[in-house]
Amino acid sequence: MHVDNAILKEHGIEGGPLRTLLLGNEAIARGAYEAGVAFACGYPGTPSTEILQSLAQYHEVRSEWATNEKVALDTALGAAYAGHSALAVMKHVGVNVAADTLFSASYSGVKAGLVIVTADDPGIHSSQNEQDNRQYARFAKIPMLEPSDSQECKDFVRLGLEISRQFDTPVFLRTTMRISHGKSIVELGERIVNDSGPREFEKHPHKYVLIPAHAQRRHPIVEERVRKLRAFADTFERNQIEWRNRKLGIIASGHAYLCAREVFPDASFLKLGMAYPLPEKLVRELAAGVERLIVVEELDPFYEEQILAWGIAAEGKSIFPITGELRTSTIRERAIQAGLLPADSDIAIADPANDAEPFVAMVRPPALCPGCSHRGVFYLLRKKRLIVFGDIGCYSIGVLPPFNAMDTVTCMGASIGVAHGALQAGITDKSVAVIGDSTFFHSGIAPLVNQVYNGGGGVTLILDNSATGMTGAQGNPGTGGTLMGEQHRPVDIAQVVRGLGVEDVWTVNAFDMEALDGAIEAALAVEGRPAVVVVREECVFVERPGPGVLTVLTEPCTACGICFKVGCPAILKDEAHLFRGKRPKAMIDPLMCTDCDICRQVCPFDAIVSVR
Amino acid sequence: MSIPKLDFLIGGVGGQGALTASDILAEVGMFAGYDVKKSEVHGFSQRGGVVESHVRWGDEVLSTLGEEGRIDVLLALELLEGARWASYLKPGGLAIVSRQELIPISVSSGNAHYPPADTLEEVARRATDRVHFVDALTIAEDLGNARASNTVVLGLLSTFLDVPEEVWLRVIRRRVPSKHVTVNERAFAAGRELRR
């Protein structure tokens, strides 16, 4: 093997295009930069987060973390109304939050291009559901592009903006986890700005002011637009029939297309770059040219239902699963069962060496990091046996052993409202709502003021770790640190809470177990009105809690196991030191320990000490 | 190109640097002239959980994920993870497994037990006779930086692949922070030594 000139090319020395490996998310950011996007915003959420984080390196694009996805879409829409190409970025469930604006934006149209990225999570790697957001495209009547690798991620931003301008509509760009977090080779280009928008706002009240009289006139325009987009889909260059063997025809997009190509290298394909609307002529052409037509799509039978509605014979969900992520192996297994492939095409089944009993490896449950400021709270919540109404964030790990201290997790910002409803319905158990700082700013303020307004009496713990922790410790209004690196005045959560009308507010340090316990007890003692405890300490990704490390003194340790109940990955069983020859004592991994001090405070035998 | 495809699976635990290792492997493939794809997982699964990263080299790579029973090379940065992913290897595939053990939280906070080392090694041996166990952590610690252990594994891997050593070193120098370049160069050399 020789080294080709890729190294030279990558650095642009050879005069060819710059080629580099990019995540799908990084490629979307690059695409936005090259396509002349002026403004981009979103809310962090797996698997979408790296798009804006990567875009922030390009200073020509103003990029912002919004407080939630609706605010993000409002903001991007405002930029587009003002004549500047804009990008709104969110994970699939974020579109639920932004849906109100989405449907209005469909009616109002845009001036400059507006692309909305929805990053879906088939397989539920890091979400509360695996909703198929292709349904939103049909529901809101706006077109949707779906890339299958990083090069397409980059290209489709530009194409999406063009379609947006041409048809006066927002355009969805839908990725899935494997596309967002898959890396492949991308050729880089230059930034081209198409619309350096006007400084003055152009008034179009018949479009932008959706009073009933205007909206009634806009709806037929939206339906006409869908009709035009259907015709456009048949000419769209990224919807392509690949003719191979005529026995089997396959319709697919995104990651499912790639997996299906591996399983059926000889089949003919309609590769869809546009998930909505579907190109009817191309579908009919493929159907007419093959003996058997199948649809390989992840999650919902979105294409299949449309194709069947056209009266075209096709099979899809009768063969392939409707739940979970489609992997090549799943497609292969199901294809064999459906008689599309001979049984011996599965090596894993055919190989006699695999007859031995399979090894099932133990799971590695996610854990709060060593030094996590949520640890002390959940240690106490477990001990107090409260009903805990939880929320979205790292602290949802509180549901797992050893804490087992979370009873509901619904969606962003739901904790306080769910707690209020349970209390108003008359539950007699002592309970708390638990919500993080970023989640509080996202959608926790409205339910708290609702509690005040309706005379509720719940206790809310706001776990303020100065970070949107789960997605990589991004800044939020509580820190004042922005995506582009500016520092603005931090919003004081306790002050916000008081401003909402909550009289009983405590602020405590997350690593001071006695103060924390006292504040929770005091809040629980408040009757007839809401009480809030703000639990303060930085996420370990923002700041390490202490300078030293903690260590277990083997002599006084009685292997009582209390320190194991703080659920710290740094605390291990010391099989070399058994108490009375039976139970292993505790030991602390000095490489993992961050000196947060919680295990030292809970140890009843003073067997843990801090050392420098 | 002499081979149509080469599928790698890197198995590790969140925080071990599996993603950096797979980034290096992917970039080496690109510089060697292959089409390359790579998959990784972020978010909830990163907090001390299982990390599964695929890297695929070939003339044209389609999916970012290799298939169970069809992987050419397994790189396991931890012993239990070596056993977990052993079934992904094709018959006769190559496995490089670090002997490092990272104990899941369920062992200290529950009743789970980490399997004995020889049980885990046996699982990998059953999957393929081309398995190399490496004391990568010890080697890296001796060199002065435990975090360079993945580079030891990559060094050993490089002896099985027909890519010039200079390409690997170039990519490693690009990918690791400048103050850690020297220790990673040494770790890579130490990994190559294991094959001599």
Which residue stretches of chain A have pLDDT < 50? 1-4, 12-13, 350
Across the interface, of B36, B43, B109, the residue whose CB is closest to A185 is B36
Contact A567 B170 (CB under 8 A): no
Whether the Cβ atoms of residue B145 and residue B180 lie closer than 8 Å to each other = yes
Q: Exposed, middle or buried, B175 (CB in 10 Å: 0-12/13-18/19+)? A: middle
DSSP A203: P
The number of C-alpha atoms within 13 Å of B25 and in the hemisphere containing its C-beta is 33
Question: Using alpha carbons only, how large is chain A's radius of gyration in Å?
Answer: 27
Distance CA B188, CA B195 (A): 12
Taking alpha carbons only, the member of A221, A231, A277 closest to residue A108 is A221
Q: How far is A45 from chain B (nearest CA, A)?
A: 8
DSSP A371: T
Q: Which two tokens stand for residue A44?
A: 């962090």
Contact A177 B91 (CB under 8 A): no
Identify the pLDDT of residue A200.
Answer: 83
Report pLDDT digits (tens) over A514-568: 999 999 999 999 999 999 999 999 999 999 999 999 999 999 999 999 999 999 9
Identify the pLDDT of residue A14.
Answer: 56
Q: Which two tokens stand for residue A40?
A: 């981009």
SS3 per-residue string spanning chain B: CCCCEEEEEEEEECCCCHHHHHHHHHHHHHHCCCEEEEECCCHHHHCCCEEEEEEEEECCCCCCCCCCCCEEEEEECCHHHHHHHHHHEEEEEEEEEECCCCCCHHHHCCCCCCCCHHHHHHHHHHHCCEEEEECHHHHHHHHCCHHHHHHHHHHHHHCCCCCCHHHHHHHHHHHCCHHHHHHHHHHHHHHHHCCC
Element (H, E) at A27: helix A24-34
Identify the pLDDT of residue A345.
Answer: 67
CA dist list (Å): A405 to A378, A388, A395, A399: 7, 6, 10, 5
The number of C-alpha atoms within 13 Å of A34 and in the hemisphere containing its C-beta is 20
- The CB density around residue A185, as the number of other CB atoms within 10 Å, is 22
What lies within 8 Å, CB to CB, of B70 at 6+ separation is A347, A348, B7, B88, B90
The number of C-alpha atoms within 13 Å of A472 and in the hemisphere containing its C-beta is 13
Whether the Cβ atoms of residue B73 and residue B3 lie closer than 8 Å to each other = no
Identify the pLDDT of residue B49.
Answer: 86
A353 touches chain B (CB under 8 A): yes
Q: Exposed, middle or buried, A319 (CB in 10 Å: 0-12/13-18/19+)? A: middle
A334 touches chain B (CB under 8 A): no
- The residues with which A583 forms a beta bridge, in sequence order, are A579
Contact A1 B162 (CB under 8 A): yes
Q: How far is B118 from chain A (nearest CA, A)?
A: 14
Identify the pLDDT of residue A441.
Answer: 98
Q: How far is A541 from chain B (nearest CA, A)?
A: 12
Across the interface, of B27, B32, B36, the residue whose CB is closest to A1 is B32
Identify the pLDDT of residue B14.
Answer: 86
Identify the pLDDT of residue A350.
Answer: 47
> What CATH class has A549-611?
alpha beta
Q: How far is A7 from chain B (nearest CA, A)?
A: 6
Q: How far is A156 from chain B (nearest CA, A)?
A: 18
In chain A, ranges of CATH 3.30.70.20 domains = 549-611
CA dist list (Å): A580 to A455, A575, A585, B109: 56, 12, 10, 20
Q: Left if phi > 0, otherwise alpha if psi is -120 to 50, otherwise beta: which for A111? A: alpha
Identify the pLDDT of residue A353.
Answer: 53
Strands B89-98 and B50-58: unpaired
What lies within 8 Å, CB to CB, of A225 at 6+ separation is A141, A167, A168, A169
In chain B, the residue whose alpha carbon lies closest to the alpha carbon of A573 is: B108
Q: Give me the domains of chain B, ranges plus CATH numbers.
A: 5-193 (3.40.920.10)
Q: Which residue of B2, B28, B44, B171 is the best one to mutate when testing the A interface, meaning the one whose CB has the most A CBs within 10 A? A: B44
Q: Which residue of B39, B105, B107, B119 is the best one to mutate when testing the A interface, meaning the one whose CB has the most A CBs within 10 A? A: B105
- Selected residues 146-185 of chain B with any CB under 8 Å from a CB in chain A: 146, 162-164, 166-167, 170
Q: Which ipTM was obtained for this model?
A: 0.95
- The residues with which A114 forms a beta bridge, in sequence order, are A86
Whether the Cβ atoms of residue A98 and residue A73 lie closer than 8 Å to each other = yes
Distance CA B159, CA A344 (A): 34
C-alpha dihedral sign at B141, B147, B151, B154: positive
Contact A3 B35 (CB under 8 A): no
Report pLDDT digits (tens) over B64-110: 999 999 999 999 999 999 999 999 999 999 999 999 999 999 998 87
A3 touches chain B (CB under 8 A): yes
Q: Left if phi > 0, otherwise alpha if psi is -120 to 50, otherwise beta: which for A413? A: left
- Give the residue ranges of DSSP H helices in A109-211: 134-140, 150-167, 177-180, 205-208
A375-536 CATH pick, 3.40.50.970, 1.10.8.60, 1.20.950.20, 3.30.70.2520: 3.40.50.970
Whether the Cβ atoms of residue A136 and residue A101 lie closer than 8 Å to each other = no
In chain A, ranges of CATH 3.40.50.970 domains = 2-233, 375-536
As a whole number, mean pLDDT of residues B37-47 equals 73
DSSP A299: S
Q: Which residue of B16, B64, B169 is the best one to mutate when testing the A interface, meaning the one whose CB has the most A CBs within 10 A? A: B64
What lies within 8 Å, CB to CB, of B45 at 6+ separation is A125, A126, A366, B14, B51
In chain B, the residue whose alpha carbon lies closest to the alpha carbon of A403 is: B109
Backbone angles phi, psi at A377, to 5 degrees: -60, -45
Domain A240-347 belongs to what architecture? 3-Layer(aba) Sandwich (3.40)
Contact B1 A1 (CB under 8 A): yes
Whether the Cβ atoms of residue A252 and residue A274 lie closer than 8 Å to each other = no
Q: How far is A573 from chain B (nearest CA, A)?
A: 6
> Which CATH code is given to the segment(s) A2-233?
3.40.50.970
Across the interface, of A2, A182, A567, the residue whose CB is closest to B109 is A567
Residue B2: pLDDT above 90?
Answer: no
Residue type, A403: F
Q: How many CB pairs under 8 A join A and B?
A: 187
Distance CA A479, CA A485 (A): 12
Distance CA B130, CA B112 (A): 30
In chain A, ranges of CATH 3.40.50.920 domains = 240-347
User: For chain B, what percent of residues have pLDDT higher than 70?
Assistant: 95
Question: Using alpha carbons only, how large is chain B's radius of gyration in Å?
Answer: 16
B26 touches chain A (CB under 8 A): yes
What lies within 8 Å, CB to CB, of A304 at 6+ separation is A295, A297, A314, A316, A317
Report pLDDT digits (tens) over B141-171: 999 999 999 999 999 999 999 999 999 999 9
- 3-state DSSP assignment of residue A455: coil
Distance CA A467, CA A484 (A): 16
